[in-house]
């Protein structure tokens, strides 16, 4: 094993290691308690996501350049720059690509408003990394050049590779006149480094971008992560990595590079196509996904049996019933999943409405005879319902009867049960779900007290339970940037907690 001394000096609680399986990765330098800070760093660069819309090159807000609106262009290079950023100086844009475009007279061509993306902006983040290499070659060699980029695997994705080669490599070397400074191979290496290692972030207003972090970017993957990251747009997109649970000295730090609430086949496909590896973590190799049955189907031949994959990381495997002799191909299972996912996607495309809520309930009932109650399709539908109950017409919180409040409570607890397994400890998704859970619990407690079902003492105990739930929610969200949606929710949860605490104190005085 090798240790990067240069990176080691930048870290307080972690050490860099490398081997043939993971490449470079991080381990805990010492025993670490949950929530403790492991890594804190600013991005090497940040920039627009690939295949995204036309955005301001400073703040990433979408801009409409049809009709050649003068105040949406940079006055120096004529590339997209909103008037707000122009007025404030646009220091990030001016410090990077502006001079390159100005000197080369590289013209920006607006896309039609109905276009799916703006391929001309795909070069921006790559160019910013190239300029770092040029200005600080030692840092490039120390921190960025060793990053994985999987060019051989990416070449096999011919359409994507060719699009990147034309839109980025040839564009930078041609119209941008950088052929003598940067080779095609180097440019395509950086394209791969960004695709494999960059993190998505959002501005305080919710606009998407991507950031490249030299240290955090080398975290190993696991579908049950043991670290939790927060990105702080108001601090220059600084990233902070914390322990999600207690860690032992020498334990590998792991993060999930896919959505943990997807089933095994969906996670594997995402990692294979986007990160170019097959995950062989404990969860992926377990047909029951650590006892949750998150990808399990009901057997169609017997009433009590469950269909489980005989080898979840092998697409040529077959699925076998736990009770009877029935078995079927993985291809048949994936076709059934594809049909269900298509139905769910059609439903999700609808605007929030009473009809959408009702149709979501129908779809969940329909799938009860097809998949396990905790199947990821069902969990996704529960998440959609949780968001709608209390927020759409005819289903506002003030109008929900106790039976529907109990239903929302149960939906929340089922999602939390899965999160207890896949995201134990410090989890943003868990915090959101805890906040959703507290609302029906408060309303049910008050309803029970008003109706005489609950005594004052029983009401007090119920409210104390809710305070504990909100306390956990706040404990998780306190690490978020206060200017973000999650940071604002932390403030709201704290206010709700304070109000309930006052209510409990009032009940105590009344006693």
Is the pLDDT assigned to residue 249 strictly greater than 90? Answer: yes
**Using alpha carbons only, what angle is made at residue 411 by residues 439 and 286, rounded to the nearest 5 degrees?**
135
Indicate the pLDDT class of residue 8, thresholds 50, 70 and 90.
very low
Residue 1, pLDDT > 50, answer: no
Which of 284, 286, 209, 250 lies closest to 53, judged by CA? 209
> Is residue 68 pLDDT above 70, yes or no?
no
Interatomic CA distance for residues 416 and 410, integer angstroms: 10
Q: Domain segments of the chain: what residues?
A: 5-43+215-255, 51-211, 297-510
Provide mean pLDDT across the span 252-262: 96
Closest listed residue to residue 107, CA positions, set 70, 130, 57, 73: 73
pLDDT level of residue 39 (50, 70, 90 thresholds)? very high
Cα–Cα distances in Å, from 368 out to 1, 378, 387?
50, 8, 21
Task: Look at 111 and 141; give whichever has higher pLDDT.
Answer: 141
pLDDT category at 252 given cuts 50, 70, 90 is very high
Domain 5-43+215-255 and domain 297-510, same fold? Reply is: no
Q: Tell me if the pTM is above 0.75.
A: yes
CATH number belonging to domain 297-510: 1.25.40
- Secondary structure (3-state) at 412: helix
CA gap 496, 508 in Å, rounded: 18
Q: What is the pLDDT of residues 427-470, one digit of tens each?
A: 999 999 999 999 999 999 999 999 999 999 999 999 999 999 99
Residue 254 forms beta bridges with which residues? 220
Those residues with Cβ within 8 angstroms of residue 26's Cβ, 6 or more apart along the chain or in another chain = 11, 14, 15, 16, 17, 38, 39, 215, 218, 219, 220, 252, 253
| pLDDT tens digits, one per residue of 303-325 | 899 999 999 999 999 999 999 99
Residue-wise pLDDT for 227-244, tens only, equals 999 999 999 999 999 999
Tokens of 454: 């609950």
Q: Measured between alpha carbons, how far is 24 from 37 in angstroms, rounded to an integer?
A: 20
Of 260, 270, 222, the C-alpha closest to 428 is 260
CB 407 within 8 A of CB 380: no
pLDDT at 10: 44
pLDDT > 70? residue 511: no
Reported as a pLDDT band with limits 50, 70 and 90, residue 416 is very high
- pLDDT-derived band at 259, boundaries 50, 70, 90: very high
Please determine, looking at this structure, whether the domain spanning 5-43+215-255 carries the CATH number 3.40.50.300. no
Among the listed ranges 115-119, 133-137, 363-367, 380-384, which one has the minimum average pLDDT value? 115-119
What whole-number distance in Å separates Cα of residue 425 and Cα of residue 429? 11
Given pLDDT bands bounded at 50, 70 and 90, which one contains residue 509? low
Mean pLDDT of 219-233: 96
Computed over every residue of the chain, the mean pLDDT equals: 93
């Amino acid at each position: 094993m090798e240790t990067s001394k240069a990176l080691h000096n930048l870290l307080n609680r972690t050490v860099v290691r490398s081997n043939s399986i993971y490449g470079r990765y991080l381990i805990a330098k010492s025993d670490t308690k949950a929530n403790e800070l492991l890594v804190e760093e600013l991005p090497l660069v940040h920039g627009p996501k690939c295949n995204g819309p036309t955005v301001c090159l400073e703040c990433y807000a979408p801009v409409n350049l049809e009709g050649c609106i003068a105040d949406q262009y940079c006055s120096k290079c004529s590339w997209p720059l909103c008037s707000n950023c122009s007025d404030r100086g646009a220091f990030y844009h001016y410090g990077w690509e502006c001079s390159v475009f100005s000197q080369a007279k590289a013209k920006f061509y607006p896309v039609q408003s109905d276009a799916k993306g703006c391929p001309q902006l795909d070069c921006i983040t790559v160019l910013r990394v190239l300029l770092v290499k040029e200005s600080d070659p030692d840092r490039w060699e120390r921190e960025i050049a060793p990053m994985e980029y999987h060019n051989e695997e990416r070449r096999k994705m011919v359409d994507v590779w060719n699009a990147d080669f034309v839109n980025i490599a040839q564009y930078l070397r041609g119209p941008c006149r950088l052929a003598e400074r940067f080779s095609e191979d180097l440019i395509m290496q950086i394209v791969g480094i960004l695709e494999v290692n960059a993190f998505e972030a959002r501005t305080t207003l919710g606009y998407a971008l991507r950031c490249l972090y030299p240290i955090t970017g080398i975290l190993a993957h696991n579908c049950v992560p043991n670290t939790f990251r927060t990105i702080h747009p108001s601090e220059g997109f600084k990233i902070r990595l914390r322990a999600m649970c207690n860690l032992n000295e020498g334990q590998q730090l792991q993060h999930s590079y896919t959505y943990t609430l997807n089933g095994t086949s969906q996670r594997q496909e995402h990692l294979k196509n986007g990160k170019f590896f097959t995950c062989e973590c404990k969860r992926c190799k377990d047909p029951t996904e650590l006892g949750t049955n998150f990808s399990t189907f009901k057997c169609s031949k017997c009433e009590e049996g469950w269909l489980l994959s005989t080898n979840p990381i092998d697409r040529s495997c077959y699925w076998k019933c736990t009770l009877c002799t029935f078995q079927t191909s993985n291809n048949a299972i994936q076709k059934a999943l594809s049909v269900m996912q298509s139905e769910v996607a059609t439903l999700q495309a609808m605007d929030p409405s009473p009809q959408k809520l009702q149709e979501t309930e129908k779809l969940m009932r329909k799938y009860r005879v097809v998949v396990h109650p905790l199947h990821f399709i069902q969990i996704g539908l529960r998440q959609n319902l949780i968001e709608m109950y209390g927020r759409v017409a005819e289903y506002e919180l003030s109008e929900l009867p106790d039976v529907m409040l109990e239903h929302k409570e149960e939906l929340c607890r089922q999602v939390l049960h899965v999160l207890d397994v896949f995201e134990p400890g410090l989890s943003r998704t868990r915090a959101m779900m805890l906040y959703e859970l507290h609302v029906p619990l408060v309303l049910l407690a008050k309803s029970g007290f008003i109706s005489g079902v609950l005594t004052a003492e029983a009401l007090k105990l119920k409210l104390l339970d809710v305070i504990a739930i909100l306390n956990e929610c706040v404990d998780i969200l306190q690490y978020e940037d206060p200017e973000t949606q999650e940071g604002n929710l932390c403030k709201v949860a704290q206010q709700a907690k304070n109000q309930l605490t006052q209510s409990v104190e009032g009940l105590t005085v009344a006693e």
